[in-house]
Amino acid sequence: MLPEIRLNGWGYCLPGDAVSNEALAGRLGVDRDLGAETGIAERYFSAPGEGPSGLAAIAAGPAMAKAGVAAEDLSMLVFATTTPDVAFPGSACFLQEKLAAPTVGALDLRAQSAGFVAALDMAAALCEIPAAGTSPEPILLATAEVFSSGLDLSPSGAELASRLADGASVVVLSAGGAGPKLLSSRWYTDGTLLEKFWTAAPHSSQLGRRIDRADLAAGRHYPQSDLPALRGVAQARLIEVLREVSAETQTDLETAARVVIDYVEPQVAVAAARELGIAKDRVVIPTASFGHVMAAGLGIEFARSIDGLATGERMVLASAGPGFTWGAAVIEAD
Amino acid sequence: MANRNHILGVGSALPDNVVTNDDLSERMETSHEWIEQRTGICERRHIDVACGGTDLGKIAAERALEAAGLTIEDIDLLIYATLSPDLEWPATACLMAAKLGAPQIPALDVRNQCSGFVYSLATADAWLKRGRGSHVLIVGGEIHSTGLDLTTRGREVGVIFGDAAAAVVLGPSPDGEKGILSSHLHAEGRFAEKLWLEVPSSRREKHILEADFEGEKPVVFPYMAGRYVFKHAVTRFPQVIRESLAANDLDVADLGLLVPHQANLRINQVVAAELGLDESQVVNNMQRYGNTTAASIPLALEEAMLDGRAHEGQYVCMAAFGAGFTWAAALFRW
């Protein structure tokens, strides 16, 4: 019998002041209504120097306090990001230093928008089963992104600069203790769609130079996308994986307390929810509130709203994004 | 009843192009003697046609699957371990899955540098033990040569690394006895900048700039504080190997074979001496391939399986130390 995995504590960070659509349009040099175009209310951009590990360190404070654990109690750090602090080593190492955690494992994962679900899946597996009479050893799971430093803040970059954003979430989880229960985490990949949403450079397969000035001149170091080409796929995969976790956990999507659906284009999440017959007032779309924070969007929303659920109520979380990668999780409030 | 997972198949792939120390001496101020004395490395492979880690990875993975008597359809999770991803994002695992014609399975990158393979083994083992599937494909793939400064300025790092891919299939132990007994993961993030590649860096104001290509130590190339790394490696390696043995009520006298990360022959010699292991009990092949980071352990393991050094009934330890700093060990009953 596998032990129940519980989320013992949580926190999030949306850094600095919100960047409004009007302010961003000014920075991008475009005269357009970005709010109407993207369905995004506002977003947060972090200050230089913070990095994903810095945002995660802020989110870790309330998460560890809620779980009642100190840095020296942690058995491992797991970090999922698409935009690491540096090329290598991973952001988990930088977070370890910031938290002054002991020399436990620091695992760095890359799964883009499915990062939160994938990291939950892996961290749940890595939780040690406590021996009789001992306390469970918690794992700190961080998801964080800093896209703002790598965006093309010019009219030609507006499509993604207006949608991708910064933020972090932390959950402390263990095979025991108190807190919401993880009932399911499922996620998948279809690499045939990789070049529809990606950053082309650096590219280690480029003979002679992994990155050079020509890459910069051509803007290959900025994210690029063909969002219209992905809409149908994204909607279909979100519906598919939501139905899968719903069936697996016998969670009725139409009556679940909260269904969180994250996608870079909020209207795709809206369409998926509509097709699944989920009432508007129970659907939350993180990207619509604070931009697409890829690996961290679901975790931020979880940390913002899990306290609003009563014992036994369920939160279903799904996301999709570059890779193409998608996933969903079901969490039951305690 | 033991519920163990074992390596069911191994495969590797190397570029054809051999680069000897003499070849490097023509490109920079160095010599065969200088490189050999400090590292034990005599030659390495560098791609000479445009080729990604996933192109080598495809060959390695297909060999590993064949050796295991499986096909890609049997794989439930793909882990790609690398520090030289084919592209910035999405995860190189997505591209690897597409090249292998994988069905829609979970696929992610583990970014734990030289410890990436052992971290991947530990994660895959935990995921299987949680009942999430029956087989995991782990591919370690690196194209270092396109990211190195192969001039006199970059010689300290440039001479060490080689390109390669190697893969293993992890799945249910054939007899319940063989397989991973335990794994042990560690990191010490305060030394992250002793062996690192800074850019692209999301924590800066701009993640990559023209200026990054300039100066005495351009930050588009990896940096290593060699003696510092050496000192920590020869301490942490024996520590984590002993930890893995002690966790299974064993000691060094019980160890049959050590398959260490292949960073530097001198490190592995000090480790062997410290543990009192005979030369024949330590697999070394960096003399021919250099440091291939995430690919190094499966590349060495394959050799030890082919020449009979890894044989049934032995205790085999795979151990690594590298950037992060991260270090790890997995102990097998072979």
Return the domain boundaries, chain B: 5-172, 179-333
Are the CB atoms for B164 and B12 separated by under 8 Å? yes
Q: Could A207 and B197 be called an inter-chain contact, meaning their C-beta atoms sit closer than 8 Å?
A: no
**Percent of chain A whose pLDDT exceeds 70:** 100
Average pLDDT over residues B55-65: 98
pLDDT value, residue A210: 94
Residue keyed to tokens 């896209």: A147
From chain B, pick out residues whose CB is under 8 angstroms from the CB of A145.
Answer: 202
Rounded to 10 degrees, the C-alpha dihedral B104/B108/B114/B117 comes to -50
Q: Which CATH superfamily is domain B179-333 in?
A: Thiolase/Chalcone synthase (3.40.47.10)
Architecture label for domain B5-172: 3-Layer(aba) Sandwich (3.40)
Of A48, A102, A82, nearest to B190 by C-alpha is A102
Amino acid (1-letter code) at residue A200: A
- Whether the domain at B5-172 and the domain at B179-333 fall into the same CATH topology: yes
Model pTM above 0.90:
yes
Active site residues of B: 114, 261, 291
Of B95, B33, B135, B160, nearest to A323 by C-alpha is B95
For chain A, list the domains and their CATH numbers: 5-179 (3.40.47.10), 183-332 (3.40.47.10)
Q: Could B96 and A191 be called an inter-chain contact, meaning their C-beta atoms sit closer than 8 Å?
A: yes
From chain B, pick out residues whose CB is under 8 angstroms from the CB of A60.
Answer: none
Q: Please report, for chain A, how many H helices and E strands are present, in that order.
A: 11, 14
Q: What is the pLDDT of residues B208-240, one digit of tens each?
A: 999 999 999 999 999 999 999 999 999 999 999
Residue keyed to tokens 């001198």: B266
Q: What is the ipTM of this complex?
A: 0.98
State whether residue A125 sits within 8 Å of chain B by CB.
Answer: yes
pLDDT value, residue B2: 58
Q: Could A51 and B202 be called an inter-chain contact, meaning their C-beta atoms sit closer than 8 Å?
A: yes
Q: What is the pLDDT of residues B136-152, one digit of tens each?
A: 999 999 999 999 999 99
The model's confidence at residue B280, banded by pLDDT at 50, 70 and 90, is: very high
Chain A 66-95, residues with CB within 8 Å of chain B CB atoms: 76-77, 82-90, 92-95
**Which chain B residue is nearest to residue A221, measuring alpha carbons?**
B208
| pLDDT higher than threshold 50 for residue B1 | no
Give the one of A54, A107, A126 whose C-beta lies nearest to B110's C-beta.
Answer: A107
Average pLDDT over residues A178-186: 97
